[in-house]
Amino acid sequence: MSETKRQKLSIKEVSEIKFFGDKGQKLPFTSTDGVKWLAYRKSLFQYIIAGAEIDADTETKERKVGDAVYTDHVVQEIYIDAKPVSQQAKQGFQPRGSSPEERASIESQVAAKCTTELWIAGKLVDDAREVTALRDWLLSRLGGHAKKVEIPKASEAKLIEKAKEIVSQANRDPETIKNYIELCRACNKDFGMQPEDVKKELNITGHNEIAETMPNCYRRILAVMRPKKQ
């Protein structure tokens, strides 16, 4: 016996991805009503996070193994803004920063921001090679003439350490966050927050209480979670 339907699932907890066969993968998770689910499509995995609610096509089917009968609950599709996410994956959707040129531009902006913050905080003197490189880079962006300046390894390590704190903010465009699932995923990636932490910062008990846009929600959290200057 098999039953398919579209329904909303509130996710309680998510297990580790399990591998089977040569290339098969499945993601087990449990909904708040205690039902154990499985997702087999890799394109769905990123949307299945604890505390989130998903709009999904589901299938419940029974299988017999010997004298025992088992019931499998499977998520076949997830919808974001009424659009199936698997179709977005098939169409080759590329996130921001996916092209080599765009990644290079982002890396340059992050390096410039890191150097600026270290300079303002007094960690770099005015004639430091990093500051000189920053000035040259700014001149090149404004149409001036820049010279190549190599950054010492020791100072480069400091920049990398600082970059880890702000790189996610440099890469994140709040306007790309369209729904609560994407908000939770962004906050987890950028700030290490769990869905319950997001609810706490927004002073809500459930995503249905949110009265503002997702980009504004992210900006509110960003203002609180922004790394402090050293």
The pLDDT tens digits for 125-139 are 777 777 777 777 766
**Does residue 95 register a pLDDT over 50?**
no
Q: Could you tell me where in the chain the CATH 2.40.50 domains are found? A: 2-90
**Per-residue confidence (pLDDT) for residue 63, from 0 to 100:** 87
CATH 3.40.1000 fits 2-90, yes or no: no
**Does residue 203 register a pLDDT over 70?**
yes
- Main-chain dihedrals φ then ψ at residue 150, nearest 5 degrees: -85, 135
**Per-residue confidence (pLDDT) for residue 90, from 0 to 100:** 55
**Does residue 20 register a pLDDT over 80?**
yes
Q: What is the dihedral of CA 24, 30, 36, 39, to 10 degrees?
A: -30
At residue 87's C-alpha, the angle toward residues 85 and 92, to 5°, is 100
Mean pLDDT over residues 186-207, rounded?
84
**Does residue 167 register a pLDDT over 50?**
no
Q: Which of the four pLDDT bands, split at 50, 70 and 90, describes residue 192?
A: confident
In whole angstroms, what is the distance from residue 112 CA to residue 118 CA? Answer: 10
Phi-psi region of 81 (alpha: psi -120 to 50; beta: other; left: phi over 0): left
Are 44 and 85 contacting, i.e. CB atoms less than 8 angstroms apart? yes
Calculate what percentage of the chain has a pLDDT beyond 90: 19
**Per-residue confidence (pLDDT) for residue 149, from 0 to 100:** 45
Q: For all residues of the chain together, what is the average pLDDT?
A: 76
Helix (H) or strand (E) holding 129: helix 129-141
Mean pLDDT over residues 61-80, rounded?
91
Structure-token pair, residue 196: 């319950």
Residues pairing with 24 in the sheet? 20
- pTM for the model: 0.43
**Per-residue confidence (pLDDT) for residue 168, from 0 to 100:** 45
**Does residue 201 register a pLDDT over 60?**
yes
Out of 16-30, 192-206, 212-226, least confident range: 212-226
Q: Which of the four pLDDT bands, split at 50, 70 and 90, describes residue 97?
A: very low
166: CB partners within 8 A, 6+ apart: 110, 113, 114, 117, 227
| Sign, Cα dihedral of 213, 27, 29, 87 | positive
Instruction: Give the amino acid at 136.
Output: D
Q: CB 187: neighbour CB atoms within 10 A?
A: 24
**Per-residue confidence (pLDDT) for residue 22, from 0 to 100:** 78
In whole angstroms, what is the distance from residue 178 CA to residue 170 CA? Answer: 19
